[in-house]
């Protein structure tokens, strides 16, 4: 935290980038930090390789988010990205090698690629940004508080994930005291699904399959086109599948427009899907992880299901051994 603070205090121009196919934590933390540093007199470029999803277009500053790689900024900050490839087309090896990188993230699979790694296993990156801004004594206005609360609320599914403690609720109180409206955020972020998302859910739910404790569905380009869905639409479906009784792991396989398959996984209490995601070139958290794999749908599905089944068996065995030792 201290070295991140020193780098940021010394810089006049800062480049901040979040991950591709951005979610609320990526956009909220990006804007929160960018607006906060501006209040301290810095010039900030805020960047994301992919467009900002429409549901976040109530946040101040979203229109300024650019898809340009860094130019002459002195420091690069990466947001909510477990590895540098998650920046997509913003990542230019030559430019990134020539200046300090502050890696702000909360994924257990983070590869520690930064000059400074501000990686903490908290429910959201927004909390690390919040702590950093406080350390920098940045003023907390309504716009910054709203952006950070969007990050916290989206990554905790409205404070419902198992990693939520009183700490997150305390931060929410502070942000609300600074002017953020939890009512507005939940309304705008969770109660505004486009009809194309409902269409996609319908298609995907009609094709749900189950093998033992693993449930999955597949979304192909045909479904995406038929529903007129954007690349990141319907990504909360996987959490819904994971809420099924008797299901320990839920997976949504989605064919991307470049032909690769995006794999989104959720695990029930006591299970871990992050190791499989990491092994297959992705990353994430124990209970929410993902990866993107080149290949045909059926082949990718079998590969992932095989790895998941093996991982679940290993985890169940480890637990049994632990119980036997304990008992
Ligand atoms: P998602 O299923 O897309 O909501 O992602 C769940 C978690 O896994 C998020 O924390 C993502 O950052 C992470 N994740 C998803 N896809 C990838 C990927 N291709 N590489 C690294 N991390 C990923
Ligand atoms: Mn994210
Ligand atoms: Mn996050």
Atom 7, ligand 1: residue with shortest CA distance? 289
Atom 13, ligand 1: residue with shortest CA distance? 284
Q: Are residues 144 and 166 in the same domain?
A: yes
Q: Are residues 60 and 186 in the same domain?
A: yes
Going residue by residue through the chain, which has 327 residues, state the pLDDT in tens, using 9 for 90 and above: 899 999 999 999 999 999 999 999 999 999 999 999 999 999 999 999 999 999 999 999 999 999 999 999 999 999 999 999 999 999 999 999 999 999 999 999 999 999 999 999 999 999 999 999 999 999 999 999 999 999 999 999 999 999 999 999 999 999 999 999 999 999 999 999 899 999 999 999 999 999 999 999 999 999 999 999 988 888 899 999 999 999 999 999 999 999 899 999 999 999 999 999 999 999 999 999 999 999 999 999 999 999 999 999 999 999 999 998 876
- Alpha carbon distance 75, 162 (integer Å): 35
Give the CATH number of the domain where residue 80 resides: 3.90.1640.10
Q: Are residues 222 and 160 in the same domain?
A: no
Task: Output the CA–CA distances (angstroms, integers) from residue 285 to 26, 90, 117, 162, 277, in the order listed.
Answer: 15, 24, 17, 12, 9
Give residue 47 CA to ligand 1 midpoint distance, Å.
19
Q: Are residues 44 and 158 in the same domain?
A: yes
Q: Are residues 219 and 135 in the same domain?
A: no
Number of separate domains in the chain: 2
Q: Are residues 180 and 217 in the same domain?
A: no
pTM (2 d.p.): 0.94
Give residue 72 CA to ligand 2 midpoint distance, Å.
26
Identify which ligand lies nearest to the alpha carbon of 231. Answer: 1
How far is C-alpha 274 from the geometric centre of its chain's CA atoms? 13
- Alpha carbon distance 247, 125 (integer Å): 28
End position of a domain, from candidates 156, 190, 224: 190
Q: Are residues 207 and 123 in the same domain?
A: no
End position of a domain, from candidates 135, 155, 190: 190
Q: Are residues 185 and 213 in the same domain?
A: no
Q: Are residues 138 and 12 in the same domain?
A: yes
Q: Are residues 185 and 236 in the same domain?
A: no
End position of a domain, from candidates 165, 190, 215: 190
Give the CATH number of the domain where residue 315 resides: 3.10.310.30
Q: Are residues 135 and 15 in the same domain?
A: yes
Q: Are residues 319 and 243 in the same domain?
A: yes
Decide whether any atom of ligand 1 lies within 6 Å of the 287 Cβ.
no
Segments forming the whole domain that contains residue 306: 195-326
Decide whether any atom of ligand 1 lies within 6 Å of the 203 Cβ.
no
Which ligand 1 atom is the nearest neighbour of the CA of 274? 8
């Amino acid at each position: 935290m201290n070295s991140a603070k020193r780098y940021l205090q010394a810089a006049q121009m800062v480049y901040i980038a979040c991950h591709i196919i951005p979610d609320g934590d990526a956009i909220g933390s990006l804007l929160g930090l960018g607006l906060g540093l501006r209040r301290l007199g810095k010039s900030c470029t805020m960047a994301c390789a992919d467009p900002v999803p429409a549901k976040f277009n109530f946040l101040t500053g979203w229109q300024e988010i650019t898809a340009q790689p860094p130019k002459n900024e002195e420091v690069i900050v990466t947001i909510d990205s477990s590895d540098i490839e998650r920046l997509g087309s913003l990542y230019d090896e030559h430019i990134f090698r020539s200046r300090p990188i502050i890696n702000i993230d909360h994924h257990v699979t983070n590869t520690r690629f930064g000059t400074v790694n501000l990686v903490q296993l908290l429910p959201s990156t927004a909390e690390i940004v919040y702590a950093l801004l406080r350390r920098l004594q940045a003023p907390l206005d309504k716009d910054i508080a709203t952006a950070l609360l969007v990050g916290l609320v989206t990554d905790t599914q409205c404070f419902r994930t198992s990693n939520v403690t009183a700490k997150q609720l305390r931060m929410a109180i502070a942000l609300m005291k600074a002017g953020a409206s939890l009512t507005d955020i939940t309304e705008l972020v969770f109660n505004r699904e486009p009809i194309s998302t409902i269409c996609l859910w319908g298609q995907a739910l009609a094709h749900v399959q189950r093998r033992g404790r693993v449930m999955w569905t597949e979304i192909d380009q045909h479904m995406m086109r038929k529903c007129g869905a954007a690349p990141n639409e319907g990504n909360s479906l996987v959490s819904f599948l994971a809420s099924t009784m008797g299901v320990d792991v839920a997976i949504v396989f989605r064919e991307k427009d470049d032909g690769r398959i995006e794999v989104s996984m959720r695990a029930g209490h006591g299970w871990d899907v992050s190791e499989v995601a990491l092994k297959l070139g992705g990353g994430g958290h124990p209970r929410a992880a993902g990866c993107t794999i080149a290949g045909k749908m059926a082949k990718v599905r079998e590969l992932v299901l095989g790895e998941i089944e093996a991982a679940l068996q290993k985890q169940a065995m480890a637990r049994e051994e632990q119980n036997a030792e304990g008992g």
